[in-house]
Structures are given as C-alpha cells and as structure tokens.
A and B are shown apart, each in its own frame.
Chain A
Amino acid sequence: MRESKQLLFFYFKDLLFSSIWVKIINMTIENLKNEALNKLDKVLNLEGLAIIEKEYLGKKGKIRELSSSMKGLSSEERKDLGVQLNELSNLLEEKILFKKKNFKLSEIRKKEEGDFLDITVPGKKIERGHIHPLSSTKKELEDIFALMGFSVIEGPEVEDEWHNFDALNFPLNHPAREMQDTFFIKQKERESLSQKEKFVLRTHTSNIQTRYMENHEPPIKIVAPGRVFRCEATDDRHEVCFYQIEGLYVDKNVSVANLKAVLERFLQEYFRDSKVKIRLRPSYFPFVEPGFEVDMSCLVCGQKGCSVCSGEGWLEILGGGMVHPNVFKNCGLNPKEVTGFAFGVSVDRLAMMKSRVDNIRWFHSGDLRFLKQF
C-alpha cells in the first residue's frame, strides 16, 4: 500500500491536479486515524502501547512520513493538511497518555493489593501540658465580658475590713456580716485596730470594686475575677476557696433593665445558647438595693423540670443588684449623680456546669487524673 502510494506520487505528481493529490492525502489521514484508534482500542498493556506510540508518533512514524510527502504542495495546501495532521497527532497523544495512566494505575493497584495497615492500633501517647479548667473558664468569662465592654481588673487577696466589708455597707455587728464566713488574719490586739488595719482573706472580689471606685470616675465598666475565701465546712458544692467573677457598671442612668440584658447576654454567650432566659428574684445583699438572686432557664431539660433543676425549670446561678447609695458614698461617688449595677458569679460553678464536674473539690485537689482531662 505504502509503495503503491509512493509510485503514484512519483509518476503522476506533475500530471495530476494538485487538488486530487490533496484529496488522496486527506483520505490517507482519515485512514491513519481509524487504523490507529482501532489499534489503541485493542492494546492490552504498556509494551503494546509503546509500540503503537512509536509506529505513529515516533521520529520515523507514519505521521512524520506523511508530513514529509507534502513537500510538493502549495504552501496553502500544506498549511491546511498540516493542521489536520497536527490534530491527529494531538488526538493520538492524548489517547495514548490516557491509556498509559490507566495501565499504570491498574499495575500499582495490583501491587498494593497485598498492603495492610492496622488502622485500629491505638495512637502513640503524645505528652502535652494542661491548663487548669478554672483558668480556661475564667479566661472565657473575661473574653465574653470584654466583648460587652468590661475591662478586667484585679485586686489583693489579703484585704482590710474596710474594703471587704465596711465600704460595701456591711454594718458592724449586723447579721449580714455573718452571711459570709470569714477567715481573719491573726494580728496583735486586733480589736484596737481601725477597719483599714484589720485584715481578712477577701470573702468576695467586691473589694476590687470598692478600690476601683475610689480611684476612678464613672463611667465605670469592669469585671473583677479572682480567688475568694470562705471559712466553712466543705462539701460537694462548697469550698474553702473558690473563684468569682464580679461585674460593676456605673454611669448616669444605669437601670435594672440594663442589668437584665447584660446578664442574659452573658449567659447566652457562655452556654452558647440564645434561648437562655433569666429571671430575677428579690434577695438581700448589703451592697446592693434592690438585690437579686438570678435564675437561668434549665438547659438540661428545656424547663420541663429535671433532676438538675429539681423539677423547677430554673437554676440559681448568680447574685446581683443595683449598687447601694451608701457604697457610692463610701467610695467617694455621689449617689445623686450616678446609678449602677453589680453582680457576682462563681467561676467554679460555671465550670462545673459546663464540664459536668460533680464535686467542686476536684479543682483544688492537685490530682493529675482530674487535671489531665482538660
């Protein structure tokens, strides 16, 4: 076949109209294409594929050969046919590449059939450190309040009685003073000292509030986190020392409605649940008037009543109220000019609720079996 074409070429090239010649080459290209595709369809492995590749696309392959047979044609005709040849060559290259990839893949698959990894073997024990759950909770709370514009302020743990009690409107010998069992610091002739010279371990972080108000002008918007102390018998829910975060907001027109909004928003953020509701119940703390016990809707049962909320649908979660005018006076602010709210919540309690810790004493146990769970 090849010889015959060449013969045709030699004997008739000058005689025939080049258009006929072009037609013949056209047909040849078409034949080549069918022939090659046919072979590619039937090829079974990489070696076979290599032979086909060489036969058509190689340096001495059929496409090159045909291309060089076009020398006698006009440049326009050559260009036309060239494009066709190029297309054919691209098509074959693409097909061959695709076949090659498939053959390789199935070859590798075959090899991999024997592979085995026991994916169920336990991972290596990697050592890492742990942050105390109260630290993380405290930070989370500080962050939430920062989002609402509260700055974080700290204060001393050994505090004088003035800043821990008197400034906060706890009258001497008043039953309210006994509401918080206090650790007293041993001092010589304690009774003869003034209230600012007698020291206790702070029973709340309200001492930070009194200290801050003494030195700052409203608007005041702070949270006071820290360790507090109560001299009482411990049990699952009571500790000798625990952490509190208290808030204070003082400005020209602060209202109970503001307190409600801030506390509700805070609990919604902390528990990541926009459905959290709060309710205020009347209560008494000397430093606020009115004073509230704040309940939050029970998230465990959705207020249907469960063992966590003892069937009430509500959980007592924090205490708060409107700052008592006497507290303002004691701290050098004019109660005629400002109002404010204050609140306090136990960090331990919030951490317990979130991690379902059943005993508050774990936090100060120093037991790594507990701490390494966080």
Chain B
Amino acid sequence: MIISYKFLSTFFKEKLPKVEDLMDKITLHAFEVEDPKEYKDDFTFEVKVTPDRGGDALSHFGIARECAAILNLDLNNFKYDLLEDKTQDVNNFLSVEIKNDGCIRYSARVLTGVQVKESPEWLKEKLNKCGISSINNVVDATNYVMLELGQPLHAYDYEKLSENKKIIIEKAKKGEKFITLSNQEVVLDENILTIRDEKDALVIAGIKGGKKTEIDETTKAIVLEAANFEGAMISKASKKIKIRTDSSFRFEHNIDPELTVVALDRVASLIQEMTGAKILKGIVDAYNKKEKPRKISLDLHYVDRFLGIEVPLKEVKRILRNLGFEILKEEKNLLQLLIPTFRKDITIEENLVEEIGRIYGYEKIKPVLPLSDERIMRNEDVDFINQLELTFKELCFTEVYNYPFLGEEYKNAFNLSKLIEVQNPITVDSEYLVPSLIPNLIKNLKLNLRFEKNIKIYEIGNVFKKNGSFSERRVVSGVVSSGDYLELKGCLEELFKTFNINNIEYISNSKESFLSQKKSAIIKVNKKEIGVIGYLSGYVLESLDLNIDPVLFEIDFESLRGEILKDANFVHISNHPIATRDISVIVPDMVFVQEVIDVIKSSESKLIKQIDLLDTYINSQLKTLTFRIYLQSSKKGLENKEINEIQDKIINKLTQNPEWEIKK
C-alpha cells in the first residue's frame, strides 16, 4: 500500500520526523517499507502490511495509528462537519435487507443535488500518488476515504435503482451474468454474494461495481454504501471470478464493522463540500450481530520472561494506550485490557506481548545464550550421507541435485508406472514425482555430454511411488558415461569396502524395468536385495536418442545402511611368504566368472588368500579364464608339496564339470 507523507501528516499536530527516519521507524517497529518516491512537495513509500494486520492497517489512518505509538505522538481527533437535510428522512427513500450472513453490516446514505464532474486538483493528485486514477468527483471521494480510513465505499446512481428503491444483499444465482464497471462480463454462481435491487445484481459484494447503477454526468442523486463482509467469503469469490480490487483486498482481511458509519459521514461531507449536495437525514444501517470488544488479561511478568527484558510498566501502559487498547483494571502484575474491534488479530496474550515488544524495540533486547542440558543425538542417516559423499568424491564422482519431477516423455521412455502426480505442475515436463533418480541423471548426462566425454555423476535423494498410499524412500544412484561395467562395479566394490559391507552377490536381473534384461544385475548383500547395476534397455536408449550406452546403479539407502558393519575387524597380517599359482580354465562363454571362482574357493578356502582374474580370452563360444591364486598360511611357510596338493585339488574340482577344461 502506497502512503503519502503529506497525507499521513494530516493526522498529527506535531511534525513527523524526516521521511527517511520515518520509514526506518516503521520498518523496525511495524511493517517493511520500500520504494520511496519524491514529489515536488511530498514523498510516498510503499508499506507492506502483513496479512494479519490487513484489517486495521491498510489505510493512512491505520499507519498513522502505528506512527503515534512508535513516535509517542497524539493523533488528531477528527470530526466531520456534515449538514443533514433534517426534513428528509433517508428511510423514506431507501431500505436494505441482508439475506446472507456473509454481510456483517450494511450502512448507506442518500445524497441529492449532486453534481458529477471532474475532481479538484488536490484530490486527483492525492489519488494518483497512491496509485488510483481519477474518474469523477463522487467516485474519487469514495476512493479517497478508502485510502484515508481503510473502508471501501461504493456510490450508486439512485435513480437507476429499480422502483422500490430496495437494496438486497444475497447470493447470486448460478450462471447469472454480470457486467462490471469496466465492461467485463462475469458469470456468477450461488457462492458469490451480490448487492441487488429487486431486479438485478448491482455490485459483486466487496469486489466490483456493476454497469447498471454507474455514476455519470447526468447523475443527480446517489446512494453511498459502506458495508462490511466476511473476509474468507470475499477472498473465495475474488479468486473464483479472478478479480482482485483495492476493495476486495481490504475486505479479505476482515475490517472493523464499526468503521462503516465513520467512513460514510466522512465521504458524505467530502462530496457535500465539493458539490454542495444535500445529505438526507440519517443512515440506513443493517447491522445484525454487533460485535463486542474482546477482553484479555496480560501478565506483566510473562511479558518480561517471554521477551527476555524488563519493560518498564509506564512504557507498557503508554504503548498499549497509543495503540488504542483500553486498560480496564490494573492489579499487581496483571492488566485487564479491552481490545478495540479494529484489532481482530489480537486474540491471545502473546499477541499483546508482540505489540509491546515491537513498539518498545526489539533492538533493546540483549542476546542471552540459552543454557540447557539436553542430549545431542547423532543422526545416523545424515552421518551416512556425509560419509557417502566423501566416498563418492574419492571415487571421482560428482554429486548432482535434480528436481524430483519428470514429464510424460521420460515416463514413457523409461516405461514407468504407479507414479505420484502433481496437481499443479509448474511446467508440462514436471507433472510426476520421480520413482527413480536414473531418468534425471540420464538427462544430466545428455546435457553434459555437450561439454565433456567422461562423466561420472551420482545423486542421493528421495523417490516416490503410489502403492495404494504414497511411499517415499531415499536412494543412491549414479551413472557412468564410459559404459565400462567393470569400472562402475569396481567403484561400488570400493564403496562397500569403505563401509565394511560384505557378502555381496550379483544376480541376473530378469525383472521388467528400464534396465537391460541381459546386461544388468540385482545386487544382494547377505542375501538381501539392495539395488541394481547395469545398462539401460535398448528401448530407453532409442526413445531418448542416446548415442552412448551408459552404465548405472541405484541402491536403496536404508537397505545399504542396514548392512554396514559398525566396526571393522582387524585381519591378522601374516608374515609368511605368499605362494602363487596360475590356473587357466576353458568354459562355455555364457558361464559367469563368479561360478568358476566359487568352485575354486570351495576346494581349499582356508589357505586361499586372494583370487585374481588375470586374463579372459574368448574364442568361438569358449572362453579361457586365467586366474592367479594366492596361497598363504598364518602359521608357517607353505611347502611346495602342500601347494601342489592344493592346486591339484582345485583342478580336480574344476574338472568335475564336464563342460569345463583345464588348459595345460
């Protein structure tokens, strides 16, 4: 809301501080202030009134009340001189009926002998500075009073009302068409409140006036309306018809119903002053449930304890009075307070503590570090993430962060289902939550291949799936552009070693997924499935037009963490010499190396220290695997005889399979 410095000054006898100082004060004690502008004889600035204070602070008067408390100044008493035509009772000319609770109060005056014309310069200027364009003197006067007091007002051409001059406030009919003052056609429904005569809707309540009763140069008599509506209802309606006005914006925040009459008198006197119009005697006022001001008792000890500073009683009382709170009773450390109806946001004691704290000044509170003796707990998940990040860094992987969204294109390419959908995605390619981190990692790969060839990236993040309910779990995934399965597997093996994860198996993956069926594996630890490793299916590669064949992995975070052995057991280091033997075995080319290794291990596992695959040679559906077997005892040096016996045993085991053959 734009505030004019000069306009604001009219509420005070005393001079206000310089505009920069004033802006600072408002910022530190009430609302954020920005965008200062300088005019020939004025300044303006924008005050960002917080949503809880929209009911009382969205006006120059509202801000003046804040300034009075901040600066400890007295506000001018404003009284409006208004000359009523005592011979004509307004009730003979207008009646009002509220048919819906959404309208809390409806007050109106009738003026005759109005001359509609251009506004005087001072008025036009004031409105312009505050961002409202001038229309004519009557409409301008209503807008001016809204800026001044915060009460939205509306003026109707009296003669354009239907015959009985009766105003009815009720919900619109479903599908009812309405032409606004700005010639926009709006379709209303039964949730939208309207101000009507006996025939038509005249105004969308609290939001926008209609064409039918528009004020124009021929207008002679007017109805001035100051009403009060329930905020939530206005807010809903405004969203529904997508019209937001200075009026609806204020009503949304629940303004004070007591304000209608004050504002009505103000605007009537202003129009009278400008046009010499006659004001009919009295106000038509429908006010069904008058609000009673709330009472709250305030414990002064609590104020001090809560803020962490002692605020002098004199200051507390001064602040509360300046803000318009009435002190009803004062007993020991308790103040009994009457909360004015314009402060709807004050409902509990803590609200009052805030009022005292902010006006007194938060800068006066000295920082005090709290002393406490609660136990700090280590978060094992967060710890593990930190460790993983360090490990991946050592393995030359770069960490990426992706949005957890993907669109139709990737959903189809990766053949994904049971996805959680976002109702209001920000772009078309972000309507689903990711069920795997792989698709977006592939997207990263495509982007980065423009700049470099050898890419190793990973992400730790949540994946989402709809299985009846919504499930969310953390995974660790990575992609290597080289397509070197052994490189990636080697990295994972180092990772497992880092965390003392043993008993790892790679099992053929026959599941239907975006992975290649023949060129991927399920990773198991201690017989439990923890993740997958391998290549993408040809379908994905083709759908995404990928001209490389990356290799990737995805591991469930919780499962992985569950397999960590907390403390690594030190393995005794033997100083006895290590003996090596090389064995070459010829097997059919579809045999997994692990099968052969398992057979070797089964023969004499105790003394076998390590088995390395030295070489693989494939020739017409047969492959020759050359292993180097390291033998060592923890107790003694092995003799040649013993070593040969073990070698024979291994060869014996290997040749039990009729398809396998030892290369001599």
Contact = CB atoms under 8 A, between A and B. Distances in A.
A206 interface: no
A284 B50 contact: yes
Interface string B350-378: 11011001100011011111101110111
Contacts of A128: 393, 396
Contact of B403 (A127, A325, A364): A364
Interface in A158-178: 158, 173-176
A139 B306 contact: no
Interface string A268-305: 00000000000111111000011111000000000000
A363 B457 CA distance: 14
Nearest to A341: B370
Nearest to A254: B370
Contacts of B164: none
Interface stretch (A10-18, A38-46, A183-191): A183-191
A130 B440 CA distance: 18
B308 interface: yes
Contacts of A219: 372-374
B28 to A, nearest CB: 6
B362 A368 contact: no
A53 interface: no
A269 to B, nearest CB: 12
B476 to A, nearest CB: 13
A158 B462 CA distance: 10
B400 interface: yes
Contacts of A132: 389, 399-401
A56 interface: no
Contacts of A240: 403, 426, 430
Contact of B369 (A201, A265, A279): A265
Contacts of B400: 132, 366, 371
A187 B424 CA distance: 12
A258 B403 contact: no
Most buried by B among A156, A176, A366: A366
B448 interface: yes
A290 B379 contact: no
Interface string B175-189: 000000000000000
Given A283-B50, A367-B448, A261 B369 contact: yes
A325 B403 CA distance: 35
B422 interface: yes
B52 A185 contact: no
Interface residues of B, number: 85
Contacts of B307: 255-257
A176 B253 CA distance: 10
A241 B403 contact: yes
A279 B28 contact: yes
A366 B447 contact: yes
A112 to B, nearest CB: 38
A192 interface: no
B31 A150 contact: no
Contact of A231 (B252, B392, B426): B426
Contacts of B402: 364, 366
Contact of B51 (A179, A220, A227): A179
Given A158-B433, A367-B447, A284 B53 contact: yes
Chain A interface size, as a band, is: 35 or more
A289 B362 contact: no
Contacts, number: 220
Given A158-B433, A257-B308, A257-B365, A290 B354 contact: yes
Contacts of A190: 423
Contacts of B390: 131
B571 interface: no
Interface string A322-335: 10110000000000
A97 to B, nearest CB: 40
A326 to B, nearest CB: 8
B235 interface: yes
Contact of B232 (A173, A221, A371): A173
Contacts of A220: 374
A131 B389 contact: yes
Given A185-B422, A290-B354, A364-B401, A255 B305 contact: yes
A246 interface: no
B452 interface: yes
Contact of B398 (A142, A150, A256, A371): A371
Nearest to B357: A290
14 contacts: A129-B396, A129-B456, A185-B470, A221-B372, A233-B426, A241-B403, A251-B372, A260-B308, A265-B369, A281-B27, A293-B32, A339-B306, A366-B440, A371-B399
Interface of A: 127-132, 134-135, 139, 142, 146, 149-154, 156-158, 173-176, 179, 183-187, 190, 199, 201, 219-221, 225, 227, 231-234, 240-241, 249, 251, 253-258, 260-262, 264-265, 279-284, 289-293, 322, 324-325, 339, 363-364, 366-369, 371-372
Interface of B: 27-32, 50-54, 232, 235-236, 252-253, 305-309, 348, 350-351, 353-354, 357-358, 362-363, 365-370, 372-374, 376-379, 381-382, 385-386, 389-390, 392-404, 420-426, 430, 433, 440, 443-444, 447-448, 451-452, 455-457, 462, 464, 470, 472
Closest A-B pairs by Cβ, 10 of them:
A257-B308, A255-B308, A290-B354, A261-B367, A284-B50, A366-B444, A129-B393, A186-B421, A280-B362, A184-B423
